[in-house]
Chains A and B, each alone.
Chain A
Amino acid sequence: MSSAPSEESVAARVTATVERAIQRNIKGLEYFGSAAPAVGASPRDLIHARGTMLLYHYRPMADEIYRVPILVVMATTNRGYILDLAPGQSFVEFLLKRGYDVYMLDWAPPTAAEKTLDLNSYVNDFIPDCLAKVQADSGIEDVTLMGYCMGGVLSTLYQGSHADSPVVNLVTFTTPVDMTKMGLFSAWADKRWFDVDRLVDSLGNVPAEILYTSFDMLRPASRFAGNIRLWDNMWSDEFVKGYRMLDRWGADMLPLAGEYFRDTTKKLMWDNALVEDRLEVGGRPVRLGNITVPFLHVVAEHDHIVTTEASAPLVKLVGSTDKEEVILKGGHVSLVAGANAQKRLWPRLDQWLQERSV
């Protein structure tokens, strides 16, 4: 039989609730008057830039580093600072402190003149160019290639079509290959009513607003619920800071080069040519079976953007004998950033990379 709550416990609960309500109002006012928190915290140097392509080198944070440098390829729709949010919450900082030499291929918004960049430009020009720069800068021939989301697709396409690649390890996060399983994206991009030619021909580059709206529509109720949660947690500086950083990143999307968008829609979405083993990029056949380097694919169990069904065939189809798929709790973003990533992905990745980076 349960006893009635004591007077003290009721008083304590009321005091805490009132205190939070006061804090919520005070901090709520501060929220609207303050600047968003800074992101992209780790010191880095831009070592190579060519139009939309930006190659950064992060300054080492350990006294002794692993021999093999890492080149991180960011998704073409988003800014790379999701991987370097703030000190103590940065994936890049974690890697640097664990003794890795980290480079990042990040993207600037493509200009109107860059609408002609296509899949071939990204796979057979930008990635090999950056790999060569990493080799020259580090003085090391071998490189670990690591891609997030569409960056993972580009890394996979590169490695599956370049027999002479200097890549010795391939790591991909939330990387789709079976585009028929991309949920709402597959439905919206259906060739029966999605006229990609008309879109690209009339606009040149695909504006970031379209992409942002599409991503937002995947979970239409979540923005409203997120705002309620923000208000509920307004008393907590940590929560508000984390929310603002992620919200800023989510809204800070990049336009896509027109021909690149046309190529990805036709070759990857409509033809599903990668998983069906008949993809060609710039005249080069791309075969997942040609990937023979050690391979790690990390997937998020609750990813609402890249479904687990869309990424599932990747590990099966790559030709490597040393290959592994790790499914971790979390969503598309929380897999790589935030408290969930710190606890799950980062240590797991470090464990995998260590012995393959000497």
Chain B
Amino acid sequence: MSDAKLPDPAAMLRDMLGQWEKTSNEAMTQLMASNEFGRAMGQMTTMSLEAKNNFSELFGKVLTGMNLPSRDELLTVATQIRDVDARLDRIEALLVKLTGASPVAERPALPRPPRTRKPVKP
């Protein structure tokens, strides 16, 4: 049985954590909203991303030397598969238009409840 008068050190620590989180977030938010921080962040983001890009290019050359596909090449294949998918979708849509068949005919037989529901009276 708990006793309200008994001090709970764990609860006190939880409160302190909450207070620390709030104060730290507020202080850091203020700092990060400054022009100096924004400028530094913009420069760092661009520089680090460009470095990453250059590294990817270099690594791509290494992979080519090892006769292995790069991530970009795999993504290109994935894109081509998607494009084929999209083309199939367009052909299917055209067939549906020409034949009048239902576009949902291929879906498993689903329960299609009647659309007759009325609002519940408060």
Contact = CB atoms under 8 A, between A and B. Distances in A.
Interface of A: 2-3, 5-6, 8-10, 12-13, 17, 45, 47-51, 59-60, 62-67, 99, 101, 111-114, 136-137, 140, 183-184, 187-188, 190, 192-195, 198-199, 202-203, 207, 210, 217-222, 225, 228-229, 232, 354-355, 357-358
A210 B53 CA distance: 14
Contacts of B33: 183-184, 187
Contact of A198 (B14, B46, B86): B46
Contacts of A193: 38-39, 41-43
B49 interface: yes
In this complex, the interface size class of chain B, counting residues with CB under 8 Å from chain A, is 35 or more
Contacts of A192: 35, 38-39
A47 B113 contact: no
Given A3-B5, A45-B108, A354-B120, 14 more contacts: A9-B3, A62-B117, A65-B117, A111-B75, A136-B104, A140-B115, A184-B29, A187-B32, A192-B38, A193-B41, A194-B38, A202-B46, A221-B28, A225-B21
B72 A229 contact: no
A285 to B, nearest CB: 30
Contacts of A190: 35, 38, 42
Contacts of B114: 64-65
Contacts of B117: 62, 64-67, 99, 357-358
B58 interface: no
A208 to B, nearest CB: 13
A136 B103 contact: yes
Contacts of B41: 188, 193
Interface of B: 1-3, 5-6, 8, 10, 14, 17-18, 20-21, 24-25, 28-29, 32-35, 37-39, 41-43, 45-46, 49-50, 53, 72, 75-76, 78-79, 82-83, 85-86, 89, 103-104, 107-108, 110-120
Nearest to B13: A232
B28 A220 contact: yes
A10 B6 CA distance: 8
Contacts of A137: 103-104
Contacts of A45: 107-108, 110
A4 to B, nearest CB: 8
B49 A199 contact: yes
B115 A66 contact: yes
5 contacts: A8-B1, A60-B112, A60-B113, A187-B32, A229-B14
Contact of B8 (A13, A50, A203, A217): A13
B60 to A, nearest CB: 13
B33 to A, nearest CB: 5
B91 to A, nearest CB: 13
A32 to B, nearest CB: 22
Contacts of A50: 86, 89
